[in-house]
Structure 1
Amino acid sequence: MDVHPQLLRALRAVLETGSLTAASERLGFTQSALSKQIASLETAAGVQLLRRGPRGVEPTEAGHRLAARAASILDQYDAAQRELDDLATPVGGRVALGGFPTTAMRLVPRTIARVRAEHPSVEVDFLESSTPVQIRRLRAGRLDLALLSSGEGLPGWDLTGIEVERLPSGPLLLAVGRRHRLARAERVAVADLADEDWIAGRGARGEPQFGAWPTLSRPRVVAELGDWSTRLGFVAAGIGVTTVPGLAAGALPEGVFCVEVDDPQWTGRELLLAWIGALAGPAAAVRAGLRKEASNR
């Protein structure tokens, strides 16, 4: 099967977002153009890849299998392009750092500012994505360093051949609005959260999202929103509460307060810094900056 890489990107975007509309917005195409790309891919493959279901577009078994292959193909394609770009324009002191969204709220920008101040010749390119995407990018050579989330409620990531270092991350916290009954509390029992309205995260299928407290059996979710600023805006307005990692505690908007939760059933998650091979020069400087900022929260 000889197809343009864009057709594979189109399929992967549809599967990750669950709809042609969301996928077209992500890729910057009209929905009609994206539909034509999928049709071209189905023609080349000789099988149906997608079908419309009650919750949007659903992949066929062939669609699932091709998308799994596409992820690996596209990662290798991007790695080859990056190597060619490096030959044409040596990156010198450039470091590619990846992190999941909440690392971008405080830890990553403060680290970049620190590195710029201490090492003006080092440039940091930040790529925000989920942990599984970062692991793929790290293996494909698209990242030099990656901040990963690991622990309870998450899959057991395959980190074979990847070096990891644990960084301080703080506990999972409850975020409430200024008028909420718990806004001035320093600590609450998990049982006190049973009747709360929750604002949950919404992202690509299979990706973990912050939202209701993880050990509550039947939380009442009143909204699912994809963007952190939107979620926290709903919290500030008193529409509901949500969970935030300790990493984000110092970057919450005005009108949102954090409360610690006593929950003996929750063992928590870890923040991992990952890389492949030996670290030296610019990458080592960025690693040192991350360690300092993670410890200075």
Structure 2
Amino acid sequence: MSLDVHPQLLRALRAVLDTGSLTAASEQLGFTQSALSKQIAALETAAGTQLFRRGPRGVEPTEAGHRLAVRAAAILDQFDAAQRELDDLAAPLGGRVALGGFPTTAMALVPRTIARVRAEHPSVGIDFQESSTPVQIRRLRAGRLDLAILSSGEGLPDWDLTGVELERLPSGRLMVAVSRRHRLARAGRVGVAELADEAWIAGRGARGEPQFGAWPTVPHPSVVAELGDWSARLGFVAAGLGITTVPSLAADALPSGVVAVEVDDPGWEGRSMGLARIGALTPQAAAVRVALFQEARLIADRGGR
């Protein structure tokens, strides 16, 4: 049997696997649930096997579904890279730079970098893709990104960076975000013991994607909500429903009802931020790199405030 299918069917497969739900996947892709179900059924017919099973918590991939999804990710990356190369041929002199970053980089670092590049190099455009570190590494290898801002350190996997050049970006410390009405809001800085009895708002992402949760060294934290979007998490914090961890690079972008507080924790080694690339940079990508370092240094020097 030859598996000859439209790329959209592979995108449907990836969306269902990443979200764990036909409903969530259909919302992500912009299809009705019925249309998405038909796409999965068509892919199963072409593959000649069942790709998903329904379970109490949504749909779970079969072994065949999981294996096909791994291949689908690589195939879709190549499709996107090919489209980008064709787009670059028609781009004006100066060209475009594909930049990736994990979600909190989009709160201040990336938009400030884009604004700086736009002011200093008007002919250079930046296409920003927000995704987790493992997804960025995959896209970097597939040629879909020129530069990728990665996170590494305690509590995160040892990413496979074979063939990837990584420069450490200036970065501040991990902090906690609390409501302005919270007892710690005026403290500015607290010891980790002060966090022991707090309720936590944690992040929730696709399978395998690292998220900010409770403070890393708090034993048996009470997590009262897991939310996928930063605006939702911070909305819960502003309402006094719990507190959450945030990197200092996001402190400037917190809503008015939320305050960032530093934490003294000798048991926490911290995390770092790096700028990754493969091979030599084009002149426009080099300009973006310089702007990223400038903005990251400014944010780190003032502790995100």
Same fold (TM over 0.5): yes
Runs of 5+ consecutive residues of structure 2 not aligned to the other structure = 300-305
What is the aligned-residue RMSD (CA, Å)? 1.2
1:101-125 C-alpha deviation (Å, 9 max, x unpaired): 1000000111111111111221111
Match of 2:137 among 135, 138, 154: 135
Q: How far did residue 129 of structure 1 move?
A: 1.1
Match of 2:80 among 69, 75, 78: 78
Q: How far did residue 263 of structure 1 move?
A: 1.6
Distance, in Å, in 1 between the alignment partners of 2:145 and 2:74 is 15
Match of 1:164 among 159, 166, 174: 166
Q: Residue type of the partner of 2:47?
A: A
Q: How far did residue 217 of structure 1 move?
A: 2.3
Distance, in Å, in 2 between the alignment partners of 1:188 and 1:145 is 36
Tell me what 2:286 maps to.
284
User: 272-281 or 12-21, which moves further after superposition?
Assistant: 272-281
Q: Residue type of the partner of 1:103?
A: T
Helix, strand or coil at the partner of 1:35? helix
Match of 1:182 among 173, 181, 184: 184
| Contact 2:202-2:244 at 8 Å conserved across structures | yes
Q: How far did residue 191 of structure 1 move?
A: 1.8
Runs of 5+ consecutive residues of structure 1 not aligned to the other structure = none
Alignment of 1:36-185 (within 5 A): 36-89=38-91, 92-185=94-187
Q: Is the alpha carbon distance of 1:5 and 1:91 closer, same or farther for their aligned partners in structure 2, counting shifts above 3 Å?
A: farther
Distance, in Å, in 1 between the alignment partners of 2:186 and 2:213 is 21
Alignment of 1:122-271 (within 5 A): 122-271=124-273
Distance, in Å, in 1 between the alignment partners of 2:86 and 2:183 is 57
Q: Residue type of the partner of 2:157?
A: P
- Give TM-score, length-normalised by structure 1: 0.97
Distance, in Å, in 1 between the alignment partners of 2:82 and 2:93 is 15
1:147-204 C-alpha deviation (Å, 9 max, x unpaired): 1111111111111111111011111101100110100112212122111111111111
Distance, in Å, in 2 between the alignment partners of 1:227 and 1:189 is 28
Q: How far did residue 91 of structure 1 move?
A: 6.6
Helix, strand or coil at the partner of 1:232? helix
Q: Is the alpha carbon distance of 1:114 and 1:92 closer, same or farther for their aligned partners in structure 2, counting shifts above 3 Å?
A: closer
Helix, strand or coil at the partner of 1:296? helix
Q: Residue type of the partner of 1:288?
A: V
User: 99-108 or 185-194, which moves further after superposition?
Assistant: 185-194
| Contact 2:88-2:96 at 8 Å conserved across structures | no
Q: How far did residue 88 of structure 1 move?
A: 4.3
1:26-77 C-alpha deviation (Å, 9 max, x unpaired): 0000011111111111111111110011211111111111111111111112
User: 8-17 or 209-218, which moves further after superposition?
Assistant: 209-218
Identity %: 81
Q: Is the alpha carbon distance of 1:8 and 1:149 closer, same or farther for their aligned partners in structure 2, counting shifts above 3 Å?
A: same
Q: Residue type of the partner of 2:266?
A: P
1:273 counterpart = 2:275: yes
| Contact 2:117-2:124 at 8 Å conserved across structures | yes
User: 9-18 or 86-95, which moves further after superposition?
Assistant: 86-95
User: 97-106 or 119-128, which moves further after superposition?
Assistant: 119-128
User: 81-90 or 225-234, which moves further after superposition?
Assistant: 81-90
Helix, strand or coil at the partner of 2:98? strand
Distance, in Å, in 1 between the alignment partners of 2:257 and 2:58 is 36
Q: How far did residue 90 of structure 1 move?
A: 5.6
Distance, in Å, in 1 between the alignment partners of 2:213 and 2:237 is 11
Q: Residue type of the partner of 1:202?
A: R
